[in-house]
Structure 1
């Protein structure tokens, strides 16, 4: 059922894309990728070693031409740096959105090596001096 929904979603995007987007010289749709700010994330109070958890991440789509493409994910020891990655269709009819945050999820398995907690850093945007800003969540790891 989940695969059917994914296929239908992709079909709707394709139909919308081809009916309202700019085409390159070779008749392909023009789009680019962008990391957008995370509004918030939801974690359990702690992780149990070896268990997998579904993490909820909330973000706002800036325009009607932005679509969820996945997560940028980088790991270093016990720190996970994550950002919401979107595709942006180059079209003339994009409208700005001011909707409620959209939910996306990813699965995370707690398999620490030598730390007793994970630190998740979600891209929040840039400050006035152009430096990246992050939302940070610290989740302890317990044995059970």
Structure 2
């Protein structure tokens, strides 16, 4: 549902801005930000909903939280990344250690353990890096 809302917002904002007679450039962009830390339960209870909180550094005053990219994969693996809107053309101030926390709810619908991969950016060779947590499920 959050993905659909995000995409609808993104499309409507882009269409609105693309009608400018001055130019056809958008006034914002979307950026993934590396996750610094994660608060996740040590175990889940089957059939319950648990809150997961991530912390990331906001690099400038032009960055604002948009949503999470949440991608389920096979074998109960979940990839999670933080998405920010970045306003362009403004006087952005660089921020030092401006930690932001955001949470999402996770419903446990399987009795097998879940593996969460929280995106931490790319290494020197361009490979994605992740904080990885395997969470067992109590029946």
Sort the TM-score into its range (normalised by shorter chain): 0.7 to 0.9
- What's the counterpart of residue 81 of structure 2? 83
Q: Deviations over 1:18-45 (max 9, x none)?
A: xxxxx88279960000111000111111
- Mapped to 1, the partners of 2:108 and 2:96 lie a distance apart of 35
- Mapped to 1, the partners of 2:71 and 2:90 lie a distance apart of 34
CA contact (8 A) 2:59 2:98 kept: no
- Mapped to 1, the partners of 2:137 and 2:21 lie a distance apart of 50
5+ residue gaps, structure 2, are 1-19
- Mapped to 2, the partners of 1:24 and 1:126 lie a distance apart of 38
How many positions carry a matched residue from both structures?
Answer: 119
Partner residue of 1:117 out of 101, 113, 124: 113
Distance change in 2, residues 1:100/1:30 (3 Å):
closer
Q: Please report the RMSD computed on the Cα atoms of aligned residues, expressed in angstroms.
A: 2.0
Matches within 5 A, 1:1-144: 25=22, 30-77=27-74, 78-112=76-110, 116-143=112-139
CA contact (8 A) 1:29 1:89 kept: no
CA contact (8 A) 1:33 1:86 kept: yes
Structure 1 moving runs of 4+ over 6 Å: 26-29
- Mapped to 1, the partners of 2:117 and 2:101 lie a distance apart of 17
Q: What TM-score do you get using the length of structure 1 for normalisation?
A: 0.76
Residue 54 of structure 1 and its aligned partner are, at CA, apart by 1.1
